[in-house]
Amino acid sequence: MLYREAGQFKESYAADMAIFPIRQDRIGLAIILVAAFVGVPLAASDFVLAVVMVPLLIFALAAIGLNILTGYTGLLSLGTGGFMGVGAFACYKLTTAFPDLNIVVCILTSGVVASAVGAVFGLPSLRIKGFYLAVATLSAQFFLDWCFVRIPWLVNHNVSGAIEVPIRTLFGVAVTGPNASPQVRYLVILAIVTFLTWIASNLLHGRVGRSFMAVRDMDIAAELIGIKLYQTKLLAFAVSSYYCGVAGALMVFLWYGSAEPAVFGIDQSFLILFMVIIGCLGSLVGSFFGAALIYGLPIALRNGLGALGLQIPAATVEHLTLMTVGGLIVLFLIIEPHGLARLWQIGKQKLRVWPFPY
Amino acid sequence: MRAPSETAAGETLLAVEAVSLSFGGVKALTDVSFDIRRGEIRAIIGPNGAGKTSMLNVVNGFYHPNTGRITFKGTTRPKMRPHEAARGGIARTFQNVALFRGMTALDNIMAGRTLKMHRGFFWQLLRHGPAMAEEVEHRRKVEDIIDFLEIAHIRKVPVGRLPYGLQKRVELGRALAMEPELLLLDEPMAGMNLEEKEDMSRFIVDLNDQFGTSIALIEHDMGVVMDLSDRVVVLEYGHKIADGTPDEVKGDQKVIDAYLGVAH
Ligand SMILES: Nc1ncnc2c1ncn2[C@@H]1O[C@H](COP(=O)(O)OP(=O)(O)OP(=O)(O)O)[C@@H](O)[C@H]1O
Ligand SMILES: [Mg+2]
């Protein structure tokens, strides 16, 4: 079956406004979903699930969060790590305060706390833009870092100062804690990430998404068509931080198992920012690509070099990956500022008209 | 000259009274008064830097005048924010196209419907049921505008990639999507070739006839101004130097001097 629009006449505006108007795209999506929900858990080893797939999905979710703010609304943020931390600590407080509360509910609710904190730190965006806003979010990052370390109440006064994830089950199966199997963790994360990606896609394709992009592209004109700048920017901060918060909670509860506050430092903010830039500013699928590349590349390098029989010290591999990622970012900024998702688009466009280029 | 339309004699829609505006030492507007009647096309002309754009900025709330009053639809407001002007029914296009460059032509025009869409945030998260019904209803209206402006073939193109003339058309479409009562057009034909100018003139006359939209039109091309407008205001160095029908203005000695650049 050729990848074509031709012959698929859209009978209604609703069909034309569907998020995937081309049939092959919908089929492709269905295949990916089946593969992700059925194929991967059956085929992949525990190692691949726990070390590759779980982190990748979590990073993709955080990247979607930052992308909503930076890619769609044009507000640069360096506070992602902090907002993820808020989600993680909120989830910890929730699960320990209400031990009987369903873990998925806890995780999804902890995003609400992150969302509120994000909106508060978004207040400066009403007055300042661009570089200055980035500095303001940087101070949010440092302030939150400080809170995570200095407020023992956040970790229930654990002497270690770290979040120690309690054991929680879902339908009798362990989801968090040492006994949770990679399969279960992967499936729970996948379900949450799929659901939230669908929600984000809905939001961004409608009125709210258009106001975000309007503010990003030309704030004067946005105001002129009746969009309230401050409401829109705060909403973007709130929604974005929700996603980051949930990603943070998932990171600690379903990946790390325990976490020091340092996990949510400025490094994390930059890592997610790189994912968004390489993936594509203003693209949901790009967030997945970016996460896959930035997180997957070091793993691929490490294992690839090992498989080649090269004995390279771990530190050198670390340096190599840093250099490769740095080089890639520079390369993308120069050659294809729209990132991997743009290459994907171009590929599809070529395929759509193949074999006649015009 | 255009035959005076019967709507042109409507009641006053906008009254600008004794408005002055300065930026530091620069006096952009000094004691300017004029009015726009319901249903008319009102041209604002004058040499570069005369204060035409500043006048529009005052009308839709981007600039707040130092003195003077603006009355729109019977209400006088000392200060109006741009989004309040939008809510009140004032739409505009810009001298330098101000489109949302990363969005498609369709999305740009859909964005113009923002104020008319009321489904709340949580419905938006689902994009089903009432939210989708609303989206479809507004898409239908937007498609009418797209047909009217003859831009159906480019509706899915990101506007940043469109040629200038089409960008101006999309910008007009976005303004029309607001179903404004007063439309402010800042040099809608600047930089266009003859054919594009003719198209744009036709759209302006048609939308004035069909929807009864009142229009304030800044334009440098005298031919266009004489053809389209019901009445003309002439500004020079921030002062109003003439006001009347195109014929009256054309014969005015001050206007002739201003345009020929006679020293003061
Ligand atoms: N934001 C601003 N800050 C400072 N001065 C301004 C500003 N906006 C306009 N001016 C000044 O006000 C005067 C009138 O400018 P305006 O843009 O209204 O003229 P115009 O009639 O639209 O000219 P043009 O035909 O070139 O578009 C100019 O001297 C301009 O430099
Ligand atoms: Mg001007």
pLDDT in tens, A71-111: 999 999 999 999 999 999 999 999 999 999 999 999 999 99
How many Cβ atoms are within 10 Å of A242's Cβ, its own excluded? Answer: 27
What are the structural domain ranges in chain A?
A: 18-353
d(CA B95, nearest CA chain A) in Å: 12
Cα–Cα distance list, A91 to A40, A179, A195, A269 (Å): 28, 19, 19, 20
More confident residue, B150 or A299: B150
Helices (H), B29-81: 52-59
Q: Going by CATH, does the domain composed of B1-89+180-264 fall within 3.40.50.300?
A: yes
Which uninterrupted H or E stretch holds B239? strand B239-244
Tell how far the Cα of B59 is from the centroid of ligand 1, in angstroms: 15
Q: Do B107 and A213 touch (CB under 8 A)?
A: yes
Segment A112-131 mean pLDDT: 91
pLDDT tens across B179-227, in order?
999 999 999 998 888 999 999 999 999 999 999 999 999 998 888 898 9
Where are chain B's structural domains? 1-89+180-264, 99-179
Cα separations in angstroms, B40 against A338, A341, B19, B208, B232: 45, 48, 22, 8, 11
- Contact state of B119 with A224 under an 8 Å Cβ cutoff: no
ipTM > 0.95 for the complex: no
Which pTM does this prediction carry? 0.91
Q: List own/partner pairs for A261-264 with CB under 8 A and 24 or more apart.
A: A261/A85, A261/A145, A261/A148, A261/A149, A261/A161, A261/A162, A263/A85, A263/A88, A264/A81, A264/A82, A264/A84, A264/A85, A264/A88, A264/A144, A264/A145, A264/A148
Which residue from B19, B23, B45 has its CB within 8 A of the most atoms of ligand 1, so it is best to mutate?
B23
Q: Which of A106, A112, A85, A108 is nearest to A94 (CA)?
A: A106
Give the A-side interface with B, CB within 8 Å: 12-14, 16-17, 19, 199, 202-203, 205-208, 210-211, 213-214, 216-218, 220-228, 235, 282
The reported pLDDT for the residue numbered B8 is 47
Q: Is B54 in the pocket of ligand 1 (CB under 6 A)?
A: yes
Residues B174, A225: C-beta atoms closer than 8 Å: yes
Q: Distance (Å, rounded) from C-alpha A61 to C-alpha A134?
A: 21
Residues of B in contact with A208 (CB under 8 A): 121, 124
CA distance B215 to chain A (A): 16
CATH of segment(s) A18-353 = 1.10.3470
* A206 chain-B contacts, CB cut-off 8 A: 124, 127, 131, 135
Could you say which residues of chain B have pLDDT below 50? 1, 3-8, 263-264
Judged by CB atoms closer than 8 Å, whether chains meet at A202 and B126 is answered as yes
